Amino acid sequence: EAQVTQNPRYLITVTGKKLTVTCSQNMNHEYMSWYRQDPGLGLRQIYYSMNVEVTDKGDVPEGYKVSRKEKRNFPLILESPSPNQTSLYFCASSLVMAGTWDYTFGSGTRLTVV
Protein backbone atom coordinates (compact mmCIF):
# COMPACT_ATOMS: atom_id res chain seq x y z
CA GLU A 1 0.00 0.00 0.00
CA ALA A 2 1.28 3.43 -0.97
CA GLN A 3 1.74 5.44 2.17
CA VAL A 4 3.69 7.90 4.26
CA THR A 5 4.59 6.50 7.66
CA GLN A 6 5.42 8.69 10.63
CA ASN A 7 6.70 7.56 13.98
CA PRO A 8 5.90 7.97 16.75
CA ARG A 9 2.20 8.84 16.65
CA TYR A 10 2.34 10.40 20.10
CA LEU A 11 5.29 11.72 22.06
CA ILE A 12 5.61 13.55 25.36
CA THR A 13 9.06 14.85 26.13
CA VAL A 14 10.82 17.37 28.35
CA THR A 15 12.34 20.68 27.34
CA GLY A 16 15.82 20.33 25.90
CA LYS A 17 15.81 16.58 25.25
CA LYS A 18 16.71 15.95 21.63
CA LEU A 19 14.20 13.98 19.62
CA THR A 20 13.65 12.75 16.09
CA VAL A 21 10.36 12.14 14.32
CA THR A 22 10.79 9.73 11.45
CA CYS A 23 9.01 9.88 8.11
CA SER A 24 9.20 7.27 5.39
CA GLN A 25 7.40 6.94 2.05
CA ASN A 26 7.23 3.95 -0.28
CA MET A 27 6.13 5.73 -3.45
CA ASN A 28 9.55 6.81 -4.74
CA HIS A 29 8.48 10.45 -4.42
CA GLU A 30 11.15 13.07 -4.94
CA TYR A 31 9.46 15.72 -2.83
CA MET A 32 8.93 15.50 0.93
CA SER A 33 7.88 18.11 3.45
CA TRP A 34 7.10 18.68 7.12
CA TYR A 35 4.18 20.73 8.41
CA ARG A 36 2.96 21.65 11.84
CA GLN A 37 -0.67 22.27 12.64
CA ASP A 38 -1.74 24.57 15.45
CA PRO A 39 -5.22 25.79 16.42
CA GLY A 40 -6.06 29.05 14.68
CA LEU A 41 -2.86 28.96 12.60
CA GLY A 42 -3.62 26.08 10.26
CA LEU A 43 -0.84 24.07 8.66
CA ARG A 44 2.50 25.73 8.23
CA GLN A 45 5.47 24.35 6.36
CA ILE A 46 8.62 23.72 8.39
CA TYR A 47 11.07 22.29 5.85
CA TYR A 48 10.89 20.65 2.49
CA SER A 49 13.12 18.57 0.26
CA MET A 50 13.00 18.46 -3.51
CA ASN A 51 15.24 15.39 -3.69
CA VAL A 52 18.07 13.56 -1.93
CA GLU A 53 20.49 15.98 -0.26
CA VAL A 54 18.31 18.95 -1.31
CA THR A 55 16.50 20.58 1.59
CA ASP A 56 15.20 24.08 2.22
CA LYS A 57 13.41 26.09 4.85
CA GLY A 58 9.69 26.59 4.87
CA ASP A 59 7.79 29.22 6.81
CA VAL A 60 8.64 28.16 10.37
CA PRO A 61 12.04 26.39 10.36
CA GLU A 62 13.40 27.78 13.64
CA GLY A 63 14.21 25.05 16.16
CA TYR A 64 14.07 22.26 13.59
CA LYS A 65 16.53 20.36 11.43
CA VAL A 66 15.97 17.85 8.66
CA SER A 67 18.07 15.53 6.54
CA ARG A 68 17.47 13.70 3.27
CA LYS A 69 20.17 11.08 2.89
CA GLU A 70 17.85 8.60 1.19
CA LYS A 71 14.89 9.21 -1.06
CA ARG A 72 12.38 7.41 1.15
CA ASN A 73 13.26 8.99 4.51
CA PHE A 74 12.93 12.56 5.76
CA PRO A 75 13.41 12.76 9.55
CA LEU A 76 12.53 15.86 11.54
CA ILE A 77 15.00 16.64 14.31
CA LEU A 78 14.38 18.85 17.32
CA GLU A 79 17.79 19.41 18.88
CA SER A 80 16.46 21.19 21.97
CA PRO A 81 12.67 21.06 22.07
CA SER A 82 10.74 23.84 23.75
CA PRO A 83 7.09 24.04 24.85
CA ASN A 84 6.21 26.24 21.86
CA GLN A 85 6.99 23.25 19.65
CA THR A 86 4.06 21.37 21.13
CA SER A 87 2.00 20.71 18.04
CA LEU A 88 0.61 18.19 15.59
CA TYR A 89 3.19 17.38 12.93
CA PHE A 90 2.58 16.01 9.46
CA CYS A 91 4.97 14.65 6.89
CA ALA A 92 3.96 14.70 3.23
CA SER A 93 5.41 13.49 -0.04
CA SER A 94 4.68 14.09 -3.69
CA LEU A 95 5.93 13.30 -7.13
CA VAL A 96 7.60 16.25 -8.83
CA MET A 97 5.42 16.55 -11.87
CA ALA A 98 4.73 19.82 -13.57
CA GLY A 99 1.34 21.16 -12.59
CA THR A 100 0.39 18.22 -10.40
CA TRP A 101 1.84 18.14 -6.88
CA ASP A 102 -0.56 15.53 -5.55
CA TYR A 103 0.46 15.17 -1.92
CA THR A 104 0.18 12.14 0.36
CA PHE A 105 0.21 12.85 4.08
CA GLY A 106 1.24 10.75 7.03
CA SER A 107 -1.13 10.16 9.95
CA GLY A 108 0.53 12.76 12.11
CA THR A 109 2.66 12.93 15.23
CA ARG A 110 1.26 14.68 18.26
CA LEU A 111 4.17 16.13 20.21
CA THR A 112 3.92 17.59 23.70
CA VAL A 113 6.95 19.32 25.20
CA VAL A 114 6.70 19.96 28.93
Partner 1 sequence: SQQGEEDPQALSIQEGENATMNCSYKTSINNLQWYRQNSGRGLVHLILIRSNEREKHSGRLRVTLDTSKKSSSLLITASRAADTASYFCATVLSGGGYNKLIFGAGTRLAVHP
Binding site for partner 1 (CB under 8 A): 31, 33, 40, 42-43, 45, 48, 50, 54, 56, 58-59, 88, 90, 92, 98-108, 110
Least distance between partner 1 and beta carbon 27 (Å): 13
Residue (49 or 85) nearer to partner 1, CB:
49
Q: Is the CB of 15 or the CB of 71 nearer to partner 1?
A: 71
Are the C-beta atoms of residues 112 and 12 closer than 8 Å to each other?
yes
Backbone φ and ψ for 113, nearest 5 degrees, come out as: -110, 120
Least separation in angstroms between residue 2's CB and partner 1 is 12
Shortest distance (Å) from residue 52 CB to partner 1: 14
Q: State the Cα–Cα distance between residues 95 and 108, nearest whole angstrom.
A: 20
